[in-house]
Amino acid sequence: MNRSDSPSLSRELKSEARVATLQDGASWRPAIGLGLATLLLAGAVYAGIATGFAGLSFPTQAEGSLLRDGSGQVRASAWLSQPFTGDGYFQARPSAANYDPMAAAGSNLARSNPALAERVAASTAAVAAREGVTPAQVPADLVTQSGGGLDPQLSPAAAQLQVARVARARGLPVERVQALVKANTQGRQWGVFGQPRVNVVTLNFALDHAARAP
């Protein structure tokens, strides 16, 4: 190769390098643009539309199914169980999470675990004494914990067992309390899935309103 060819070859190599660099940059631009567009559409536009649609179509559920008292103050959510004290309230299922929404969990105890058997036996005896029935009459869901520890629902049998105590404590006719239980009983999902259930939170909320009604 002649020395005179070296500058020309060098320029050609530099030119080819610049072309390669431009081509590499051009190949990245569509990928970056697609990523930004996807982030904008899926992360902002779609979320905004979905949130707006949910708020307009299901305003109560979108806000968390909150229950407010007469002054408008939030007292509970219809989907989160909470502890109730006093004989004038229906009691929900026990909670391994201590009814803490930030610690939702079950006990993770196996059916063969002696600690679980002891806890259920103690809870059964306590519920039987509270309701004035025999341990054999206590429904299982009153002494067992739900998987998340925040299930606000009971079987109709578990709610019915508490009617007499609640009516007596509140000075209400048993028929009035039974009517409130029925009003807060949900049937099977679409008439097919699950079992009938009573929402303890909404039921106790209705009881408080009934007590304040003239």
Check residue 209 and give its pLDDT: 81
Check residue 79 and give its pLDDT: 81
| Mean pLDDT score of the chain | 81
pTM: 0.70
> Per-residue confidence at 59, pLDDT binned at 50, 70, 90?
low
More confident residue, 165 or 12: 165
Q: pLDDT at residue 188 above 70?
A: yes
Check residue 80 and give its pLDDT: 82
The DSSP secondary structure of the chain, one letter per residue, reads --TTHHHHHHHHHHHHHHHHHHHHHHHHHHHHHHHHHHHHIIIIIHHHHHHHHHHHH-HHHHTT-EEE-TTS-EEEETTS-----STTS------TTTT-GGG-------TT-HHHHHHHHHHHHHHHHHHTS-GGGS-GGGTS--SSS---EE-HHHHHTTHHHHHHHHT--HHHHHHHHHHTEE--BTTTBS--EEEHHHHHHHHHHHHH--
